[in-house]
Structures are given as C-alpha cells and as structure tokens.
Amino acid sequence: MRSFILLSAAAALTLASPVPQELDFSLIDTVETPSNVTIPTNTDELVVVYDSDSAAAAVQTSVLTGQTEIDISNSTTNSTSSSTLRRRGTCAVQASGSGPVPSPDTASAFLSYSAFASAASAAATPSGYTQAFKNLNASNNAYGYLGFTNLASYDSEKCASKCNAISGCAAFNLYYERDPSKDPGTGCENPSSTTNIKCVFWGGPVTSSNANNAGQFRSKFQVVIAGSNGYVNNTIEPADGFSSPNYYGNTAIDAPVDCNGQSTFLGSKVFTGGPFDASLCAAACDAQSATNLKANKATCKFFNTYILSRNNVAIGQYCNLYSQTWANSYATYTGSNSGGNKYTVSYSYGFSASADAGTCKKP
C-alpha cells in the first residue's frame, strides 16, 4: 500500500512538472536568422504589401499537412511606383532629400547637428502610439520590414498615418539620414551629401536595442543617421473568432496540467517571412482543431503568440496552442539557452476562442 502511494505521488510529480510548451528547439534551431534589410536608395518609397488572409490560408494548409515551421513570405509583395525610381550607377545623380545639409558637410557635423536633435526631441507622439526611444544615431533592424517613405519634413504624425494605412504595420522609425548626392564610386568616391528624412515601417516593435544600424560606408562616403525616433502602435489587429488579447510582455504561458492531470498543450508552430500577425496563430489553432477532431483529440481553444528572438535578433513569430485558456499568472516563461544561443520572448499575446474558452471539467 505504502509503495503504491509513493508510486502515484511520483507519477503525479512527473505529470505536473514537465512544461513541454517551453521552446521546441528541434523546431527553432533550424529557423534562419533573417538578413538585415537594405533600404533601397533609388526610390523615395517602397511599400511591402502584406495580405493577411492569404498568409492565414497558407498557415492553415501547412498545419493540415503537419508542418510546424511556416514561411509566409509569399503573402508579401514589394511595390514601388516606377515614377519614383532613380537611375543607379557610379556617379549617377541622386534625388535631393528634404532635410538641411549641415556645414561642414561631414559625418561628424551631421551627427552633432542640433536641428536634428531638436526636431526629434520636439516630435509629438501620435495618438494610439507609444514612443519607444528618442533621438538616437541609429535606425532599427526590427521584425517584418514593411517598406519606407522619404518625407518632406520630420513629421511623426504623417509617418503614423502612413503606418496606419499599411496592413501589418505595428511600429515605425523616423530619422534623418546622410546620403550621397551621387552614387559613390570611381571618380566620385566621396560626393557631397543630401539629407533624407526617412520613415520606415515594421511589422513588430521598434526598440532602442534593435536600433542598431548606425550607417555604413558606400565607397568613401559615410552614411550616418541622426534624430532617430521609434513609435509602437498600442494595439494589435484582432483575430476573428477570438476574444480581445491579453498582453504578457516579455513572458510566455507555461501552463501546468489541467484539473484532471492532463496536459492542455497542443503543440507549437513558428511563422517567418512576414509581419507579426495574431491571425496566423488563430488560423493554426483552427486548423489544429480540425486535425484533432478527426483523431478524437482535444481541440484548440486558446493560443499564446509572441516574437521569438535568438541572441536579441527577432527570428520569427512563435505560436503555442492549448485546449484550455490559462490566466495571465501562468505567463512566467522568458526563454532559454540552446546550442550556445540565447532565445527570448517579447510582444507576447494570448487569445481565447470566443465561443468556448475551454474550462476544465471533472469527469
């Protein structure tokens, strides 16, 4: 009798302690670190058009066929109006930007030019947004590039209104960039500069830590950035069929077993190649339910989705599925190390199915 009690206590312990919804390293170790975006210099505007419905359909198809790492890049297209395209080629004259050119025309004068700092410090935070950082000398490498536009003035409201009109835009970065007046190369290694006022759109949050692009050399011309401000939209798009989300910040749900000692975790997916979009995880939840119903298994009633970073670089949108809704207090997981890499959680949201949030019932 005594040994039986010990055995069941041990069994209960092994049931309650594993937390399989922590990162699936077999899934994420193969996700490639995205390359840094190069913002084209031969145009004043590039819009990355993101089709959320087509991406959700791709996710659904992939989940139904058992895939867990899902590339949605085919649901984005680059669009540039050909009228704004400029000639490239050594010493080709580039269009003038709208910002002032400091004197002397050097990178260091640009970086210490007080008008850039004052414009950045004075810029209004657009309604519905939170300012993430102010007046840095670097632009962002954030998650899900959605294009850029050169503005006529340093105008945070204008940049926000453009972001609001772009599907998937979660954040923007506004800054002054010292660019060459001619395409640098043999015969014009270090041309005079022009100042572009850039507004860059992202499908995930901009932060001071991903504001890490301080410019580069093009031939002997030094591209530098000043007056860089970042703003993040306070809300995310809702997901059809799910309640409004709970926000967990830099933590993910780490759920125990349910009231019957059963795991409620239904697996993980990771999405790459597009902006953060909760609808993708909602589509995965619904598709997993369809698969599970056929196998007589529990259906998906709750999901937690977040931006997964490897060594502080956002590599994808992680998506964990559950048969039951868990309270915010279970959002305790912040990430782990694997294979010499540090994985962390950010921008984490939980959504419950509107029709049935999955309450545990004792038999």
Ligand X SMILES: *[C@@H]1O[C@H](CO)[C@@H](O)[C@H](O)[C@H]1NC(C)=O
In whole angstroms, give the CA distance from residue 251 to residue 29. 20
* Binding status of residue 270 toward ligand X by CB under 6 A: no
Indicate which single residue of 21, 23, 28, 37 sits in contact with ligand X (rule: CB under 6 A).
37
| Residue 127 or 153 having the CB closest to ligand X | 127
Indicate which single residue of 43, 137, 272, 325 sits in contact with ligand X (rule: CB under 6 A).
137
- Cis preceding linkage at 275, omega within 30: no
Contacts of 325 (CB under 8 A, 6+ apart): 301, 302, 350, 352, 357, 358, 359
Interface with ligand X by CB under 6 A: which range of 35-43, 90-98, 190-198, 299-307?
35-43
* Binding status of residue 112 toward ligand X by CB under 6 A: yes
Which 141-200 positions form the footprint of ligand X (CB under 6 A)?
141, 164
Side-chain-side CA neighbours of residue 44 (13 Å) = 13
Interface with ligand X by CB under 6 A: which range of 233-241, 253-261, 326-334, 350-358?
233-241
Indicate which single residue of 8, 33, 262, 354 sits in contact with ligand X (rule: CB under 6 A).
33
Q: Facing residues of 217 across strands?
A: 222
* Binding status of residue 20 toward ligand X by CB under 6 A: no
Nearest to 205 by CA among 345, 68, 342: 345
In whole angstroms, give the CA distance from residue 280 to residue 319. 9
In whole angstroms, give the CA distance from residue 110 to residue 222. 10
Contacts of 26 (CB under 8 A, 6+ apart): none
| Residue 141 or 317 having the CB closest to ligand X | 141
Indicate which single residue of 235, 244, 260, 337 sits in contact with ligand X (rule: CB under 6 A).
235
Within 10 angstroms of residue 69's Cβ, the number of other Cβ atoms is: 16
Map residues 304-343 to x or -, x wherever contact with ligand X holds by CB under 6 A.
----------------------------------------
In whole angstroms, give the CA distance from residue 120 to residue 109. 17
| Residue 146 or 266 having the CB closest to ligand X | 146
In whole angstroms, give the CA distance from residue 256 to residue 259. 9
* Binding status of residue 71 toward ligand X by CB under 6 A: yes
Indicate which single residue of 24, 107, 237, 241 sits in contact with ligand X (rule: CB under 6 A).
237
Smallest gap, in angstroms, from Cβ of residue 38 to ligand X?
A: 6
Smallest gap, in angstroms, from Cβ of residue 59 to ligand X?
A: 11
Which 48-67 positions form the footprint of ligand X (CB under 6 A)?
none
In whole angstroms, give the CA distance from residue 318 to residue 303. 10
Q: Which residue is nearest to ligand X (CB)?
A: 128
Q: Facing residues of 6 across strands?
A: none
How many residues belong to the site for ligand X (CB under 6 A)? 23
Please tell me whether residue 74 adopts helix, strand or coil conformation.
helix
Which 209-228 positions form the footprint of ligand X (CB under 6 A)?
212-213
Amino acid in position 18: P
Residues engaged in binding ligand X (CB under 6 A):
33, 35-38, 40, 71, 74, 78, 111-112, 127-128, 136-137, 141, 164, 212-213, 233, 235-237
